[in-house]
Amino acid sequence: MKQKKKGYTKLRILSRDEKQEILKKLKQQFGVKDIPGIVVQRGKERLFFFSGSFSESEIKSLEKTISIERVGVYFAKLVLSAEEESKVRLSIEGTQILKEQITKNIFELSHEQMEKWMRGEELQIETGKKGFLVMKYNGDFLGCGKASEKKITNFIPKNRRIKDKN
């Protein structure tokens, strides 16, 4: 009997109905009308786009043989909350892949704000909104932040932040 790595969770290809539920959230939050390819879930919250040549059955068969860390591009995280229904937080790649469709909850950054954002800093600003916002600078999408009353929380991973030269 083969043993899986400790902490390993299987990939799960979302059904059509599950994909439609994610799309419904994306439409409500960001105006997105279509999700390209299939959606694969790892664990309870990480979502990946996959549009390669492997079929669903080939992915499942391959996973029986080897541990697959990921399939496709990480595009979003399901954020589960006790006090409200779950939301979707798009990754940097998710905002870029869906940029032609995103029409809602966009926050346009100034140059100074963009530099702070890319260093991983929270923005101390009142937007008048609550929830996830897509951060945009000069036509480029830079991931999502979470707006609260007085700030926008930054989710850029530490290894992707711009480092100060000092």
**Together in a domain, 150 and 165:** yes
The SS3 assignment for 157 reads coil
**Together in a domain, 109 and 60:** no
**Together in a domain, 98 and 35:** yes
**Together in a domain, 131 and 96:** no
Q: What is the tens place of the pLDDT at every residue in 115-138?
A: 999 999 999 999 989 999 999 999
Assigned domain for 1 exists: no
Question: Residue 115: which domain range?
Answer: 105-166
Question: How far are the Cα atoms of 23, 48, 139 from residue 32, in angstroms, in the given order?
Answer: 7, 16, 17
Band the pLDDT of 84: cuts 50, 70, 90.
low
Q: What is the tens place of the pLDDT at every residue in 4-57?
A: 445 556 788 899 999 999 999 999 999 999 998 899 998 889 999 998 888 778
CATH number at residue 89: 3.10.450.220
Instruction: Identify the pLDDT of residue 82.
Output: 65
Instruction: Identify the pLDDT of residue 6.
Output: 53
Closest C-alpha among 72, 27, 65, 23 to residue 46? 72
User: How many Cα neighbours within 13 Å face the side chain of 154?
Assistant: 19
Instruction: Identify the pLDDT of residue 165.
Output: 72
Instruction: Identify the pLDDT of residue 33.
Output: 97
Instruction: Identify the domain boundary among 78, 104, 130.
Output: 104
Flag whether pLDDT at 141 surpasses 90: yes
Q: Write out the two tokens for 119.
A: 């260093």
User: Is the pTM value of this prediction over 0.75?
Assistant: yes
**Together in a domain, 22 and 76:** yes
